[in-house]
A = this chain, B = another copy of it.
Amino acid sequence: MERIKPRTLSGFMELLPQQQILFEKILATLRETYELYGFTPLDTPVIESSEILLAKGGGETEKQIYRFQKGDSDLSLRFDLTVPLAKYVALNYSQLSFPFKRYQIGKVYRGERAQRGRFREFYQADIDIIGDGALDISNEAEIPSIIYRAFTSLGLQRFKIRFNNRKLLNGFFELMGLKDSAAGIMHAIDKLDKIGAAKVREILVDDEGIAADAADEILAFISAEDKLGTLQRYAGRSEMFDEGASELRIVAEMMQRYGIPADHFEIDFTIARGLDYYTGTVYETMMLDHPEIGSICSGGRYDHLAEHYTDKVLPGVGISIGVTRLFYVLGEQGYLNDAMGAAPADVLILPMGDTLGESIELASTLRAAGIRTQINNEKKKFKAKIGYADKLHIPYVIFMGEDEAKAGIVTLKNLATGEQAGLSAEDAAKTILAGLNTTNTVIVEPKKD
Protein backbone atom coordinates (compact mmCIF):
# COMPACT_ATOMS: atom_id res chain seq x y z
CA MET A 1 0.00 0.00 0.00
CA GLU A 2 1.24 3.45 -0.90
CA ARG A 3 1.68 5.51 2.24
CA ILE A 4 1.37 9.24 2.81
CA LYS A 5 3.50 10.87 5.45
CA PRO A 6 1.15 12.08 8.19
CA ARG A 7 1.39 15.79 8.91
CA THR A 8 -0.63 18.68 10.28
CA LEU A 9 -0.67 21.99 8.41
CA SER A 10 1.65 24.65 9.77
CA GLY A 11 -0.17 27.38 11.68
CA PHE A 12 -2.69 24.84 12.99
CA MET A 13 -2.38 23.92 16.66
CA GLU A 14 -2.79 20.24 17.39
CA LEU A 15 -1.95 19.24 20.97
CA LEU A 16 -0.80 16.06 22.63
CA PRO A 17 -3.34 14.64 25.10
CA GLN A 18 -1.92 16.17 28.28
CA GLN A 19 -1.69 19.62 26.75
CA GLN A 20 -5.15 19.21 25.29
CA ILE A 21 -6.57 18.53 28.74
CA LEU A 22 -5.04 21.79 30.01
CA PHE A 23 -6.46 23.63 27.00
CA GLU A 24 -9.92 22.15 27.64
CA LYS A 25 -9.71 23.27 31.27
CA ILE A 26 -9.09 26.82 30.09
CA LEU A 27 -12.14 26.68 27.81
CA ALA A 28 -14.23 25.17 30.60
CA THR A 29 -13.18 27.92 33.04
CA LEU A 30 -14.06 30.60 30.50
CA ARG A 31 -17.45 29.04 29.80
CA GLU A 32 -18.16 28.72 33.51
CA THR A 33 -17.16 32.32 34.22
CA TYR A 34 -19.20 33.74 31.36
CA GLU A 35 -22.23 31.72 32.44
CA LEU A 36 -21.94 32.93 36.04
CA TYR A 37 -22.54 36.41 34.65
CA GLY A 38 -25.65 35.25 32.81
CA PHE A 39 -24.22 35.12 29.31
CA THR A 40 -25.90 32.73 26.91
CA PRO A 41 -23.85 30.47 24.65
CA LEU A 42 -23.95 31.00 20.91
CA ASP A 43 -22.67 28.90 18.04
CA THR A 44 -22.61 30.15 14.48
CA PRO A 45 -21.35 28.40 11.33
CA VAL A 46 -17.66 28.43 10.48
CA ILE A 47 -18.66 28.97 6.85
CA GLU A 48 -20.70 31.99 5.79
CA SER A 49 -21.57 33.55 2.48
CA SER A 50 -18.65 35.83 1.46
CA GLU A 51 -21.13 38.61 0.81
CA ILE A 52 -22.14 38.49 4.49
CA LEU A 53 -18.68 38.17 5.98
CA LEU A 54 -17.21 40.88 3.80
CA ALA A 55 -20.15 43.28 4.01
CA LYS A 56 -17.92 45.75 5.75
CA GLY A 57 -15.37 45.30 3.00
CA GLY A 58 -11.72 45.99 2.60
CA GLY A 59 -9.01 46.01 5.17
CA GLU A 60 -6.14 43.72 5.88
CA THR A 61 -8.43 40.91 6.93
CA GLU A 62 -9.75 40.44 3.42
CA LYS A 63 -6.36 39.34 2.13
CA GLN A 64 -6.07 36.74 4.86
CA ILE A 65 -9.49 35.26 4.44
CA TYR A 66 -10.10 31.64 3.42
CA ARG A 67 -12.49 32.14 0.52
CA PHE A 68 -13.61 29.58 -2.06
CA GLN A 69 -16.34 28.50 -4.42
CA LYS A 70 -18.59 25.50 -3.79
CA GLY A 71 -20.98 25.00 -6.65
CA ASP A 72 -22.40 28.45 -7.31
CA SER A 73 -21.70 29.74 -3.82
CA ASP A 74 -18.98 32.20 -2.87
CA LEU A 75 -18.06 31.08 0.64
CA SER A 76 -15.64 32.20 3.35
CA LEU A 77 -14.47 30.93 6.70
CA ARG A 78 -15.18 33.36 9.53
CA PHE A 79 -12.18 35.42 10.57
CA ASP A 80 -13.66 36.61 13.87
CA LEU A 81 -16.81 36.11 15.95
CA THR A 82 -18.02 39.70 15.78
CA VAL A 83 -19.22 39.76 12.17
CA PRO A 84 -21.22 36.51 12.68
CA LEU A 85 -22.68 38.06 15.86
CA ALA A 86 -23.75 41.13 13.92
CA LYS A 87 -25.41 38.94 11.30
CA TYR A 88 -27.07 36.80 13.98
CA VAL A 89 -28.51 39.75 15.89
CA ALA A 90 -29.79 41.42 12.72
CA LEU A 91 -31.29 38.16 11.48
CA ASN A 92 -32.94 37.19 14.77
CA TYR A 93 -33.62 40.67 16.13
CA SER A 94 -37.31 40.12 16.78
CA GLN A 95 -36.72 36.90 18.70
CA LEU A 96 -33.93 38.11 20.96
CA SER A 97 -34.21 39.86 24.32
CA PHE A 98 -32.10 42.93 24.91
CA PRO A 99 -29.64 43.58 26.39
CA PHE A 100 -28.50 40.44 24.60
CA LYS A 101 -25.60 38.96 26.54
CA ARG A 102 -23.87 36.21 24.66
CA TYR A 103 -20.59 34.39 24.74
CA GLN A 104 -19.09 32.42 21.92
CA ILE A 105 -15.99 30.26 21.97
CA GLY A 106 -15.02 28.99 18.56
CA LYS A 107 -12.39 28.63 15.89
CA VAL A 108 -11.70 31.43 13.44
CA TYR A 109 -9.44 31.46 10.38
CA ARG A 110 -6.85 33.85 9.04
CA GLY A 111 -4.37 32.84 6.37
CA GLU A 112 -1.49 34.78 7.95
CA ARG A 113 2.09 34.23 6.92
CA ALA A 114 3.38 31.18 8.78
CA GLN A 115 5.35 32.37 11.77
CA ARG A 116 6.24 31.02 15.19
CA GLY A 117 3.37 31.64 17.59
CA ARG A 118 1.04 32.83 14.82
CA PHE A 119 -1.95 30.64 14.05
CA ARG A 120 -4.15 30.34 10.99
CA GLU A 121 -6.81 28.48 12.93
CA PHE A 122 -7.36 29.71 16.45
CA TYR A 123 -9.96 29.90 19.18
CA GLN A 124 -11.51 33.15 20.15
CA ALA A 125 -13.55 33.44 23.34
CA ASP A 126 -15.81 36.47 23.07
CA ILE A 127 -18.35 38.11 25.30
CA ASP A 128 -20.60 40.91 24.11
CA ILE A 129 -23.58 42.80 25.46
CA ILE A 130 -25.84 44.27 22.79
CA GLY A 131 -28.46 46.88 23.52
CA ASP A 132 -31.55 47.72 21.52
CA GLY A 133 -31.20 51.42 20.74
CA ALA A 134 -29.26 52.21 23.93
CA LEU A 135 -26.86 50.53 26.31
CA ASP A 136 -25.94 51.71 29.78
CA ILE A 137 -22.32 52.63 30.47
CA SER A 138 -22.17 50.24 33.45
CA ASN A 139 -21.77 47.44 30.91
CA GLU A 140 -18.43 48.97 29.93
CA ALA A 141 -17.20 48.32 33.47
CA GLU A 142 -18.82 44.92 33.85
CA ILE A 143 -17.13 43.45 30.77
CA PRO A 144 -13.56 43.92 32.08
CA SER A 145 -14.64 42.72 35.54
CA ILE A 146 -15.67 39.41 33.93
CA ILE A 147 -12.28 39.21 32.28
CA TYR A 148 -10.63 39.91 35.63
CA ARG A 149 -12.52 37.00 37.13
CA ALA A 150 -11.81 34.72 34.18
CA PHE A 151 -8.05 35.30 34.30
CA THR A 152 -7.78 35.01 38.07
CA SER A 153 -9.87 31.83 37.99
CA LEU A 154 -7.31 30.43 35.57
CA GLY A 155 -4.54 31.36 38.02
CA LEU A 156 -3.24 34.42 36.19
CA GLN A 157 -2.65 37.30 38.61
CA ARG A 158 0.05 39.51 37.17
CA PHE A 159 -1.90 41.28 34.45
CA LYS A 160 -3.38 44.72 34.00
CA ILE A 161 -6.39 45.90 32.04
CA ARG A 162 -5.60 49.19 30.32
CA PHE A 163 -8.38 51.24 28.92
CA ASN A 164 -9.10 54.46 27.13
CA ASN A 165 -12.01 56.15 25.41
CA ARG A 166 -12.31 56.78 21.68
CA LYS A 167 -14.42 59.89 22.21
CA LEU A 168 -11.61 61.33 24.28
CA LEU A 169 -9.09 60.71 21.50
CA ASN A 170 -11.40 61.90 18.75
CA GLY A 171 -12.31 64.95 20.84
CA PHE A 172 -8.65 65.67 21.42
CA PHE A 173 -7.91 65.54 17.69
CA GLU A 174 -10.92 67.76 17.12
CA LEU A 175 -9.79 70.42 19.58
CA MET A 176 -6.34 70.24 17.99
CA GLY A 177 -7.98 71.00 14.63
CA LEU A 178 -6.95 67.57 13.34
CA LYS A 179 -10.38 65.96 13.04
CA ASP A 180 -9.82 64.82 9.46
CA SER A 181 -6.60 63.06 10.35
CA ALA A 182 -8.11 61.21 13.33
CA ALA A 183 -8.09 57.74 11.75
CA GLY A 184 -4.50 58.07 10.58
CA ILE A 185 -3.29 59.40 13.92
CA MET A 186 -5.11 56.62 15.76
CA HIS A 187 -3.48 53.96 13.61
CA ALA A 188 -0.09 55.51 14.27
CA ILE A 189 -0.40 55.77 18.05
CA ASP A 190 -1.76 52.23 18.17
CA LYS A 191 1.76 51.19 17.13
CA LEU A 192 3.48 53.15 19.92
CA ASP A 193 4.28 50.06 21.99
CA LYS A 194 5.90 48.32 19.05
CA ILE A 195 7.80 51.08 17.26
CA GLY A 196 8.38 53.75 19.91
CA ALA A 197 7.59 57.47 20.14
CA ALA A 198 10.18 58.70 17.64
CA LYS A 199 8.83 56.52 14.86
CA VAL A 200 5.25 57.47 15.65
CA ARG A 201 6.23 61.12 15.46
CA GLU A 202 7.84 60.45 12.08
CA ILE A 203 4.65 58.86 10.76
CA LEU A 204 2.52 61.70 12.09
CA VAL A 205 4.69 64.36 10.49
CA ASP A 206 5.79 62.66 7.26
CA ASP A 207 2.80 60.46 6.41
CA GLU A 208 -0.08 62.30 8.02
CA GLY A 209 1.21 65.79 7.30
CA ILE A 210 0.84 66.98 10.87
CA ALA A 211 2.84 69.98 12.05
CA ALA A 212 5.84 69.12 14.22
CA ASP A 213 4.57 70.96 17.32
CA ALA A 214 1.13 69.35 16.99
CA ALA A 215 2.78 65.93 16.74
CA ASP A 216 4.73 66.71 19.88
CA GLU A 217 1.58 67.78 21.68
CA ILE A 218 -0.17 64.56 20.66
CA LEU A 219 2.72 62.50 21.98
CA ALA A 220 2.87 64.53 25.17
CA PHE A 221 -0.86 64.07 25.69
CA ILE A 222 -0.99 60.33 25.22
CA SER A 223 2.12 59.76 27.34
CA ALA A 224 1.14 62.11 30.18
CA GLU A 225 1.77 60.68 33.64
CA ASP A 226 -0.82 62.88 35.34
CA LYS A 227 -3.94 61.61 33.58
CA LEU A 228 -6.57 63.53 35.51
CA GLY A 229 -4.60 66.77 35.39
CA THR A 230 -4.23 66.35 31.64
CA LEU A 231 -7.96 65.80 31.24
CA GLN A 232 -8.63 69.00 33.18
CA ARG A 233 -6.16 71.01 31.15
CA TYR A 234 -8.00 70.28 27.91
CA ALA A 235 -11.53 70.42 29.36
CA GLY A 236 -14.17 72.75 27.88
CA ARG A 237 -12.73 72.92 24.37
CA SER A 238 -14.55 70.03 22.73
CA GLU A 239 -17.88 68.50 23.62
CA MET A 240 -16.69 65.12 22.45
CA PHE A 241 -13.51 65.36 24.50
CA ASP A 242 -15.45 66.28 27.62
CA GLU A 243 -17.88 63.43 27.06
CA GLY A 244 -15.01 60.99 26.64
CA ALA A 245 -13.33 62.31 29.78
CA SER A 246 -16.55 61.94 31.72
CA GLU A 247 -17.10 58.37 30.49
CA LEU A 248 -13.53 57.49 31.31
CA ARG A 249 -13.99 58.71 34.89
CA ILE A 250 -17.29 56.87 35.27
CA VAL A 251 -15.92 53.61 33.91
CA ALA A 252 -12.80 53.86 36.09
CA GLU A 253 -14.92 54.44 39.18
CA MET A 254 -17.31 51.60 38.27
CA MET A 255 -14.53 49.14 37.54
CA GLN A 256 -13.59 49.23 41.19
CA ARG A 257 -17.20 48.75 42.24
CA TYR A 258 -17.38 45.80 39.85
CA GLY A 259 -14.58 44.21 41.84
CA ILE A 260 -11.43 44.86 39.85
CA PRO A 261 -8.63 45.72 42.31
CA ALA A 262 -7.07 49.13 41.69
CA ASP A 263 -3.72 47.60 40.72
CA HIS A 264 -5.35 45.55 37.95
CA PHE A 265 -6.59 48.38 35.76
CA GLU A 266 -5.35 51.74 34.57
CA ILE A 267 -6.22 54.50 32.15
CA ASP A 268 -3.86 54.56 29.19
CA PHE A 269 -4.26 57.33 26.59
CA THR A 270 -2.07 55.43 24.11
CA ILE A 271 -4.67 52.74 23.55
CA ALA A 272 -6.55 53.45 20.34
CA ARG A 273 -7.39 50.00 18.86
CA GLY A 274 -7.00 50.03 15.11
CA LEU A 275 -10.55 48.98 14.34
CA ASP A 276 -12.86 51.71 13.12
CA TYR A 277 -16.00 50.50 14.81
CA TYR A 278 -15.11 51.29 18.42
CA THR A 279 -16.81 54.46 19.62
CA GLY A 280 -16.26 54.63 23.39
CA THR A 281 -14.28 52.66 25.97
CA VAL A 282 -11.51 50.49 24.51
CA TYR A 283 -9.52 47.85 26.38
CA GLU A 284 -6.27 45.97 26.18
CA THR A 285 -4.86 43.51 28.70
CA MET A 286 -1.15 43.12 29.30
CA MET A 287 0.81 40.48 31.16
CA LEU A 288 2.96 42.48 33.59
CA ASP A 289 5.96 40.21 33.16
CA HIS A 290 5.62 39.92 29.39
CA PRO A 291 4.67 43.26 27.86
CA GLU A 292 6.43 42.11 24.68
CA ILE A 293 3.54 39.71 24.03
CA GLY A 294 1.11 42.56 23.55
CA SER A 295 -2.54 42.48 24.49
CA ILE A 296 -3.98 39.09 25.46
CA CYS A 297 -7.56 40.34 25.61
CA SER A 298 -8.97 43.35 23.77
CA GLY A 299 -12.24 44.99 22.92
CA GLY A 300 -14.41 47.96 23.48
CA ARG A 301 -17.65 49.82 23.02
CA TYR A 302 -19.21 50.17 19.58
CA ASP A 303 -22.41 51.94 18.59
CA HIS A 304 -23.30 50.32 15.30
CA LEU A 305 -22.88 46.57 15.53
CA ALA A 306 -25.00 45.43 12.63
CA GLU A 307 -25.29 48.55 10.48
CA HIS A 308 -24.39 46.59 7.35
CA TYR A 309 -27.40 44.29 7.81
CA THR A 310 -30.13 46.32 9.51
CA ASP A 311 -31.29 49.86 10.22
CA LYS A 312 -31.81 49.00 13.90
CA VAL A 313 -29.40 50.82 16.18
CA LEU A 314 -27.55 48.16 18.14
CA PRO A 315 -24.85 49.53 20.41
CA GLY A 316 -22.70 47.04 22.25
CA VAL A 317 -19.59 46.37 24.22
CA GLY A 318 -17.44 43.29 23.96
CA ILE A 319 -14.07 41.76 24.54
CA SER A 320 -12.20 38.85 23.01
CA ILE A 321 -9.52 36.47 24.24
CA GLY A 322 -7.35 34.83 21.59
CA VAL A 323 -7.19 31.54 23.46
CA THR A 324 -4.92 29.60 21.10
CA ARG A 325 -2.24 32.27 21.10
CA LEU A 326 -2.61 32.80 24.85
CA PHE A 327 -2.15 29.08 25.42
CA TYR A 328 0.93 29.05 23.22
CA VAL A 329 2.41 32.03 25.05
CA LEU A 330 1.65 30.55 28.49
CA GLY A 331 3.40 27.35 27.46
CA GLU A 332 6.41 29.19 26.06
CA GLN A 333 6.78 31.23 29.26
CA GLY A 334 6.44 28.21 31.55
CA TYR A 335 3.10 29.31 32.99
CA LEU A 336 1.22 26.06 32.37
CA ASN A 337 0.70 23.96 35.46
CA ASP A 338 1.99 20.59 34.28
CA ALA A 339 1.64 19.28 37.82
CA MET A 340 -2.11 19.81 37.92
CA GLY A 341 -2.71 16.19 37.03
CA ALA A 342 -3.79 16.36 33.43
CA ALA A 343 -4.57 12.64 33.48
CA PRO A 344 -7.45 11.26 31.43
CA ALA A 345 -8.56 9.11 34.38
CA ASP A 346 -8.41 9.10 38.17
CA VAL A 347 -8.02 5.36 38.53
CA LEU A 348 -7.12 2.37 36.39
CA ILE A 349 -8.65 -0.99 37.26
CA LEU A 350 -6.61 -4.06 36.36
CA PRO A 351 -8.59 -7.32 36.33
CA MET A 352 -6.24 -10.17 37.39
CA GLY A 353 -7.60 -13.54 36.38
CA ASP A 354 -11.29 -14.01 35.65
CA THR A 355 -12.53 -10.83 37.36
CA LEU A 356 -13.74 -8.69 34.48
CA GLY A 357 -17.30 -8.87 35.79
CA GLU A 358 -16.29 -7.67 39.27
CA SER A 359 -14.03 -5.03 37.72
CA ILE A 360 -16.89 -3.62 35.67
CA GLU A 361 -19.13 -3.55 38.73
CA LEU A 362 -16.46 -1.71 40.68
CA ALA A 363 -16.00 0.74 37.81
CA SER A 364 -19.73 1.51 37.92
CA THR A 365 -19.54 2.23 41.65
CA LEU A 366 -16.55 4.53 41.17
CA ARG A 367 -18.07 6.35 38.21
CA ALA A 368 -21.29 6.88 40.16
CA ALA A 369 -19.10 8.72 42.68
CA GLY A 370 -17.78 10.91 39.86
CA ILE A 371 -14.43 9.13 39.61
CA ARG A 372 -13.07 8.86 36.07
CA THR A 373 -12.35 5.18 35.71
CA GLN A 374 -10.61 3.06 33.09
CA ILE A 375 -10.51 -0.73 32.99
CA ASN A 376 -7.56 -2.31 31.23
CA ASN A 377 -8.28 -5.87 30.19
CA GLU A 378 -5.59 -6.07 27.50
CA LYS A 379 -3.38 -9.13 27.24
CA LYS A 380 -0.29 -7.23 28.33
CA LYS A 381 2.28 -7.68 31.05
CA PHE A 382 1.42 -6.31 34.47
CA LYS A 383 4.45 -4.04 34.33
CA ALA A 384 3.38 -2.57 31.01
CA LYS A 385 -0.02 -1.69 32.51
CA ILE A 386 1.54 0.06 35.49
CA GLY A 387 3.81 1.87 33.04
CA TYR A 388 0.71 2.97 31.12
CA ALA A 389 -0.83 4.47 34.26
CA ASP A 390 2.47 6.12 35.15
CA LYS A 391 2.96 7.66 31.75
CA LEU A 392 -0.57 9.07 31.75
CA HIS A 393 -0.19 10.34 35.35
CA ILE A 394 -3.22 8.33 36.44
CA PRO A 395 -2.84 8.63 40.23
CA TYR A 396 -4.44 5.35 41.38
CA VAL A 397 -4.44 1.72 40.27
CA ILE A 398 -6.76 -0.99 41.55
CA PHE A 399 -5.81 -4.65 41.34
CA MET A 400 -8.81 -6.92 41.16
CA GLY A 401 -7.52 -10.41 41.88
CA GLU A 402 -9.72 -13.48 42.12
CA ASP A 403 -9.22 -13.82 45.88
CA GLU A 404 -10.07 -10.17 46.40
CA ALA A 405 -13.12 -10.48 44.19
CA LYS A 406 -14.32 -13.38 46.34
CA ALA A 407 -13.64 -11.48 49.56
CA GLY A 408 -15.43 -8.41 48.19
CA ILE A 409 -12.43 -6.12 48.55
CA VAL A 410 -10.07 -4.36 46.16
CA THR A 411 -6.38 -3.50 46.38
CA LEU A 412 -5.89 0.22 45.86
CA LYS A 413 -2.45 1.57 45.09
CA ASN A 414 -1.41 5.21 45.13
CA LEU A 415 1.22 5.39 42.40
CA ALA A 416 2.84 8.56 43.75
CA THR A 417 3.41 7.30 47.30
CA GLY A 418 3.49 3.57 46.61
CA GLU A 419 0.95 3.06 49.43
CA GLN A 420 -1.25 0.04 48.92
CA ALA A 421 -4.25 -1.22 50.90
CA GLY A 422 -7.12 -3.70 50.74
CA LEU A 423 -10.39 -1.79 50.92
CA SER A 424 -14.09 -2.07 50.24
CA ALA A 425 -15.26 -0.44 47.00
CA GLU A 426 -16.83 2.40 48.98
CA ASP A 427 -13.67 3.08 50.97
CA ALA A 428 -11.60 2.92 47.77
CA ALA A 429 -13.89 5.56 46.25
CA LYS A 430 -13.52 7.75 49.34
CA THR A 431 -9.75 7.39 49.37
CA ILE A 432 -9.48 8.29 45.67
CA LEU A 433 -11.78 11.30 45.98
CA ALA A 434 -9.86 12.57 48.99
CA GLY A 435 -6.56 12.14 47.17
CA LEU A 436 -7.50 13.90 43.94
CA ASN A 437 -5.90 17.22 43.38
CA THR A 438 -8.79 19.39 42.32
CA THR A 439 -7.76 22.77 43.63
CA ASN A 440 -4.96 23.51 41.20
CA THR A 441 -5.34 26.11 38.50
CA VAL A 442 -4.20 25.74 34.89
CA ILE A 443 -1.82 28.66 35.14
CA VAL A 444 0.98 28.91 37.67
CA GLU A 445 2.97 32.10 37.56
CA PRO A 446 6.70 31.86 38.08
CA LYS A 447 7.62 33.08 41.59
CA LYS A 448 8.81 36.67 41.72
CA ASP A 449 11.68 37.53 44.04
Q: Are A378 and B131 in contact (CB under 8 A)?
A: yes
Chain B hits for A448, CB < 8 A: none
Q: Are B39 and A367 in contact (CB under 8 A)?
A: no
Closest B residue, CB atoms, query A95: B16
Q: Within the assembled complex, what's the spacing in Å between the Cα atoms of A46 and B3?
A: 22
Q: Are A38 and B374 in contact (CB under 8 A)?
A: yes
Q: Within the assembled complex, what's the spacing in Å between the Cα atoms of A75 and B10?
A: 12
- Copy tally for this chain in the complex stands at 2
Q: Mark A80-107, 1 if CB is under 8 A from B, else 0.
A: 0000000110111001111101100001
The yes or no answer to A4 lying at the interface (CB within 8 A) is: yes
In the complex, which of the residues B1, B69, B75, B111 contacts A70, with contact meaning CB atoms closer than 8 Å?
B111
Chain B hits for A24, CB < 8 A: 41
The yes or no answer to A203 lying at the interface (CB within 8 A) is: no
Q: Are B40 and A344 in contact (CB under 8 A)?
A: yes
Residues facing B in A4-27 (CB within 8 A) are: 4-9, 12-17, 20-21, 23-24
Q: Within the assembled complex, what's the spacing in Å between the Cα atoms of A264 and B419?
A: 41
Chain B hits for A306, CB < 8 A: 6
With A134-B379, A136-B378, A378-B134: A9-B40 Cβ-Cβ less than 8 Å: no
In the complex, which of the residues B5, B39, B121, B142 contacts A344, with contact meaning CB atoms closer than 8 Å?
B39
Chain B hits for A3, CB < 8 A: 307-311
- Closest chain-B Cβ to A24's Cβ sits at a distance in Å of 5
- Closest chain-B Cβ to A276's Cβ sits at a distance in Å of 13
- Closest chain-B Cβ to A371's Cβ sits at a distance in Å of 8
- Closest chain-B Cβ to A159's Cβ sits at a distance in Å of 20
Q: Within the assembled complex, what's the spacing in Å between the Cα atoms of A355 and B364?
A: 51
- Closest chain-B Cβ to A353's Cβ sits at a distance in Å of 14
In the complex, which of the residues B49, B95, B370, B373 contacts A7, with contact meaning CB atoms closer than 8 Å?
B49
Q: Within the assembled complex, what's the spacing in Å between the Cα atoms of A323 and B13?
A: 24
Q: Which A residues fall within an 8 A CB radius of B?
A: 1, 3-9, 12-17, 20-21, 23-24, 35-49, 51-52, 55, 66, 68-71, 73, 75, 87-88, 90-92, 95-99, 101-102, 107, 109, 111, 120-121, 131, 134-136, 138-139, 142, 254, 257-259, 306-311, 344-345, 348, 356-357, 360, 364, 367, 370-379, 388, 391-392, 394
- 11 residue pairs of the A-B complex, CB under 8 angstroms, read A4-B52, A6-B52, A6-B306, A12-B45, A15-B43, A37-B367, A71-B111, A98-B388, A134-B378, A136-B378, A138-B375
Those 6 A-B pairs whose CB atoms lie nearest each other, nearest first = A38-B345, A38-B374, A68-B68, A40-B344, A12-B45, A6-B309
Known: A6-B91, A7-B91, A134-B379. 11 other contacts (CB 8 A): A3-B307, A5-B309, A6-B310, A9-B45, A17-B102, A21-B40, A36-B371, A38-B374, A46-B46, A97-B392, A98-B388
